[in-house]
Amino acid sequence: SSHFGRSRLGSAQYPAPVHRARRFQEAMGDVTDCCVLVCGGGNAAQVVTGLLATRYKTIAVSFFADEAAKWEQALGRDSMELTVEGAAVSKIVSKPAKITNDPSVAKEADVIILAVPSFAHGEYFEKFAPHMKKGTIVGVMPARSGGDILFASKLGEKAKDMIFVGFETLPWACRFSEWGRKATILGTKGSILAAVTPPAKYPLAFALLQGLLGVFPNIVESPNNLGVSLRNPGAVIHPGVMYGRWCPEKWDGNPVDEKP
């Protein structure tokens, strides 16, 4: 080191503290924010939107009928309120940056989270495809069987530049209490399985998604999306539930008086 607070890192023009600060800024880069698109307008989508909007630019997107316009109207100038049962911080207040049905907002997204039923996944992939930037992380909650195959078919050649993350299930049990304005997280899973395509992008994808979700649920790596497809719990549980409700022993085949 040298006299007057300078070191080998310093110079006549930049004393040591200034030099270190400049090196720190260069190491950090210029990207310190994240833009997230949350797709859907149901229980899970509203909860994800409310959670992420507390810290990041969060855009809610729905292509279902006029759902986006209704959500925007329901919220107005107010903020969303999330109640988290059993948590020390039991109320979260936030507001999405935008609620829209315009697929071109995908050009802004670093992360896209689909919290919609699997029958709608293809529509979102197809409409977002022309606008998505290279390296966009697409997290599907849940992916269901063949989610990665559908993603690749809709994006075509562009799919190789993206990162697909298939989750086996939703992170929370949740319900909205006042549609578009208030929702409740009834419980948060301790861990959830997810697979990344391509697998080499696993560290980056998990780092960003775990950062978005928080400490829990802990995202556990599943080796590949084929495993997520074959272990799809919905394919096992849902048919059994439907059969139990509409089997010949429970239903005579005639129209019912009220909507089930």
Q: Which of 152, 187, 168 is nearest to 235 (CA)?
A: 168
- Alpha-helical regions (H) of 36-120: 43-52, 67-75
Identify whether 131 is a catalytic site residue: no
Catalytic residue among 19, 121, 131, 238: 238
Q: Which residues, other chains included, contact 158 with Cβ-Cβ below 8 Å and sequence gap of 6+?
A: 129, 132
**Rounded distance between C-alpha atoms, residue 121 and residue 226, angstroms:** 17
What residue has token string 């990207």? 31
Report helix, strand or coil for 145: coil
Cβ–Cβ under 8 Å, residues 246 and 238: no
How many residues can be counted in the chain? 260
Active site positions, annotated: 238
